[in-house]
Structure 1
């Protein structure tokens, strides 16, 4: 840490022996205020602190200062919250794209807003259905007798859920699996091969809602061609934060959502992901944090029922400290020997008291230390 030059330090021998109130403001705060004496606190909401030279107007925790600060602030006991607010959008969460794998002509597409559940047709290629199944691993290969892996288990669990039994779901594609697949293909009007080709199914996390169409009936499709976008079916709020506010976005964390009518409901963070956004008018892209908030309790679901999509406001809370002592951040003084202190003012004298800092939020900082009590007055800079 850089401190004031020795020649610039305050010399107690030059001080008036009896400090008085009402002295000219430029002589009351005998702490060097230079660029080199400012410490930027690396914490959210932190401000600056003045550096005290070893003999700079009083010693930490000891003697009375020879001058009084130009202003004071009261030490408060309060609940301190590190919060940020962001504009957001009420909708159905993150949009994902269904990409074609089967070559041919799109012959059927769903309407935007349609909800598709397990086993139902998402769209058709050459009048053959592409079906929604539930799972986290995308379909990426032909599944046939002898195949092994997580995707086999995923397929078998879906077959059982749809009523095609005769086997135990596991990682092995057996003859029993093939027989169940043939029954499933027969019901779909597909050729009964007993194998599942890539692109015949789209694995999703659950039931989906069609957000927008990326193609039209009659368009040619094939590997890599976007067909449509979709979301989940549950109402959700999507917000974007600056990467510096990453601490605010924790899966499972609770937030408050303010609706267009002013009602405030609680939500839970269900998804956090980094996304690239090109700055307007600039070629270089920046990184944002996309946060999806689920509205799971009954009150929240009822409150948003009248909205399709709407602008809302989300308040994130990173940390909360209850019943703590706080002062304005600018009351902190960086002590030359290390650490921080505050100047406690009592009557016509003041004393520099070392403190331990905690949460920085709302322009204030949590402090603790001997001699720091609720209602005390601490010095503030000009």
Structure 2
């Protein structure tokens, strides 16, 4: 059928039985096709706004061709949770004597665990703890004066009254006073110390005697020896508040890098999206998360994985996937739900300002393609486009906004 076709060849004269039979065959094919097309539309090839779609028009009724925007929406499965657990960089050595419960939250200054009954505290920062912090000490190299020459071998020991010069030991130099330790790690630590309320020093890159006094006050509050120094395993840095994951050790075991795991405290959704159909996953794109109770929550794509992986189990023919992380700004809308399966609905294609009719109005023409029936029984050819929310995009030279078409019986 050409694009310029407008009317199907349908006769109305009662004296032409052959033509009448042709019309009967044509309409029978149309009714069968309409049932198929309507079923496809009901299966959710697309969707409009969040509101429920309107009831389909009744067979035999007349509707108008309207101009609207159609939006195709697709649902995929996702998982709600806190993200992957990461090991905490615990550097304390000794025996683990206390562990927190999984799921507990910790913030700046909280005790993450105890090793040899000493607390390991959480501080905020991106630079890992890589050295002990405190005032540095040192001893200057003593200047050794020129010593008297040694007596020749066999010379008797010096006696009282002997005029020979005596040998003297080099003088000792007293230790230098402690010097400030400097570095960005000092600035990071001092920022945390001040945030915990222990002040009286300048927050900068120098660990001074004033910093040392503040550290002693902090140590006193923790029932620790007031040394004024921070050991390599005394603190652990994280970017902010954390949620404790599963412990990698038991009480009484040796502490190590895998003693504890953690996640952030914000719930998020992860979707294993098909790598071939992940064009929707653009950072910042808005989606709708469907919770297990059916309530919708707004979400936003935060990140998209750069590497595609095959599904677990190696199912033959299964398409590779990429992880898509979705944040939920309104955490309260999630209620007390901490994890579980959810659905993610995203916008696929979108057609703005196009002519639309209900899917049920389409008729399959005997000549091929689709058409629309006018109230006077004529059939007008219509090219179909996007299906969405029970409506379909149509176009053709004989179609126009406001034109009346009939829903076939």
State the TM-score, normalizing by the size of structure 1: 0.58
C-alpha distance in structure 2 between counterparts of 1:124 and 1:275, whole Å: 38
Secondary structure, in 3 states, of the residue corresponding to 2:95?
strand
- In 1: Cα distance, 2:201 partner to 2:96 partner: 34
How far did residue 195 of structure 1 move?
A: 4.4
Pick one of 329, 332, 339 that aligns with 1:309: 339
1:85 CA displacement: 2.2
Q: Which residue of 1 aligns with 2:130?
A: 141
How far has the Cα of 1:293 moved from its partner? 2.1
> 2:291 pairs with 259, 266, 271, which one?
259
- Give distance in 2, aligned partners of 1:351 and 1:286: 38
Report what 1:109 is aligned to: 99
2:15 is matched with which residue? none
- Partner residue of 1:174? 207
1:138 and 1:104 map into 2 onto residues whose CA distance is 24
Distance verdict in 2 for CA 1:20–1:143, change over 3 Å: same
Measured at CA, do residues 349 and 261 of structure 1 come closer, stay the same or move farther in structure 2, by a change above 3 Å? Answer: closer
Q: Which residue of 2 aligns with 1:204?
A: 238
Could you say which residue in structure 2 is the equivalent of 1:239? 271
Gaps spanning 5+ residues in structure 1: where? 1-18, 26-44, 46-73, 329-341, 377-382
Report the CA distance shift for 1:162/1:325 in structure 2 as closer, same or farther (over 3 A): farther
Pairing of 1:148-297 with structure 2 (within 5 A): 148-149=183-184, 151-170=185-204, 172-175=205-208, 176-222=210-256, 225-274=257-306, 277-282=309-314, 288-296=322-330
- 1:61-91: per-residue Cα shift (whole Å, max 9, x none)? xxxxxxxxxxxxx987333335432222233
Structure of higher CA gyration radius: 2
CA root-mean-square deviation: 4.6
Corresponding position of 1:79: 69
How many aligned positions are there?
291
Question: Relative to structure 1, is the Cα distance of residues 94 and 119 closer, same or farther in structure 2, using a 3 angstrom cutoff?
Answer: same
Contact 2:275 2:319 survives alignment (8 Å) = no
CA distance in 1: counterparts of 2:186 and 2:113, whole angstroms: 23
> CA–CA distance in 1 between the matches of 2:278 and 2:111?
39
| 1:33 aligned partner | none
SS in 1 for 2:182: coil
**Structure 1 residue 119, shift from structure 2 partner:** 0.4
Contact 1:106 1:216 in 2 (8 A): yes
TM-score normalized by the length of structure 2: 0.55
Structure 2 CA distance for partners of 1:350 and 1:157, relative to 1, 3 Å: same
Which structure is higher in strand share?
Answer: 1
Show CA shifts across 1:240-275 (max 9, x none): 323345443344443212122212222344455456
